[in-house]
Amino acid sequence: MNNNPTDKFNQTDEESPPIFAPLLTLDPISRLMFHIAATNTSSSTSPPSEDDPLQELIDRINRAQLEECDRLANSCENRPLYTWLVGYGFIFVFLLALFGNVVNLLIYNSDHIKYYIAIRMLCTRLLMNSLTLIFVLPQALRIISAWEPGSNIDEIYWSYYPYQIYFVNLFGFCAMWLTVLMTAECYLHVFFPSHSKSLCTKRNLSRSYLIILSTGATLALMYKFNRSVTLTTHCNRVIPSIHASEDFIMICLEKIHTFANLLLAIVVPMGLLLFMAISILWKLVLKRTDFVSHFT
């Protein structure tokens, strides 16, 4: 038994305070973990400081996460108006348009009028419009929650998504240029009646179909090969993220594709339609006497 008076003097009933090692040689992560451990150790003996920078940082992170979750909950796709317009509204328009297109196709394919060039172009355009609506339909079904987000059907839909935008752009491009062809035929009959029969032939129509289809298919290839979708879970929601390649060559091709698509799918066809429509209106309405005398 040790009777050293110094040892008796050092013996107490209180627990030894925690030993804090020097922090100068620790990296920032170790210092942070050490600070958390020290705070938890001394929390039973001393109240937490209201000006603790670590706690303030944690509170800021929590607030940012809550704001992000609120932003996702109040995003455009999660609002009832968006669901009714883009979801149920599109389905109603889809059924109505599909019914009208089918009826018109049956009428235009009758033996009395199906051999006219204009009727053939009109039937083809109705078919392109119907195919465009059919390929957009799965998106409307997803918006109205026809299947659960993150389910097997949802994964199949997002794996099909690049093909969806490919065919939607392809058939939309074809429908636009078929409208231009129909207006061009009317323009030729009005302004060049002597040459219209030699130009508006089945052979030239087939060539025009081939050129339009090839151009549209080439332009839409970018959506197929440079789009990918990943699904992540955030705030108890499945969030799809659409990615494009960040390679320098693909970025340059994307810019060229955007300019070409803007030019060939919007600017040129709309400009031609506007020019031909104004010209036909001027010829048939404003200069009606000249037009009548031209055929007499």
Residue 273 burial (CB count, 10 A): 16
pLDDT tens digits for range 259-282: 999 999 999 999 999 999 999 998
216 within 8 A of 174, measured Cβ to Cβ: yes
What's the pLDDT at 43? 46
Q: Which two tokens stand for residue 252?
A: 């340059």
Instruction: Please tell me the distance from the alpha carbon of residue 81 to that of residue 152, in angstroms, as a whole number.
Output: 27
What's the pLDDT at 141? 93
185 within 8 A of 261, measured Cβ to Cβ: no
Helix axes 117-143, 90-108, angle to 10 degrees: 160
What's the pLDDT at 182? 92
For the chain, the structural domain boundaries read 76-295
Instruction: Please tell me the distance from the alpha carbon of residue 96 to that of residue 38, in angstroms, as a whole number.
Output: 69
**What count of Cα atoms within 13 Å lies in the side-chain half-sphere of residue 282?**
8
133 within 8 A of 172, measured Cβ to Cβ: no
Fold for the domain defined by 76-295: Rhopdopsin 7-helix transmembrane proteins (1.20.1070)
What does the mean pLDDT of the chain come to?
Answer: 79
What's the pLDDT at 62? 67
pLDDT tens digits for range 37-66: 545 544 444 444 456 777 777 767 766 666
Residue 33 burial (CB count, 10 A): 12
Instruction: Please tell me the distance from the alpha carbon of residue 91 to that of residue 197, in angstroms, as a whole number.
Output: 42
Write the CA distances from 157 to 85, 141, 151, 241, integer angstroms.
21, 10, 10, 13
What's the pLDDT at 20? 43
pLDDT tens digits for range 119-133: 889 999 999 999 999
More confident residue, 159 or 71: 159
What's the pLDDT at 227? 84
Write the CA distances from 72 to 192, 229, 240, integer angstroms.
58, 18, 12
